[in-house]
Amino acid sequence: MYFNDLYNKILIEPLLNNDYNRLIIISGYATAAMAFHYLNDLKNNHSKNIEIDLIVGMTSKDGITASNHIGFKKLVNDDFSGKFKCRYIRQRFI
Condensed to tens digits (0 to 9), the pLDDT of residues 22-79 reads: 889 998 889 999 999 999 988 887 767 889 999 988 776 777 888 999 999 999 999 9
pTM (predicted TM-score): 0.83
Helix, strand and coil in the chain, % to nearest 5: 45, 20, 35
57 within 8 A of 26, measured Cβ to Cβ: yes
Count of CB atoms within 10 A of residue 78's CB? 8
| 54: nearest Cα among 68, 44, 66, 43 | 68
Provide the residue ranges of all domains of the chain, joining segments of one domain with +: 22-88
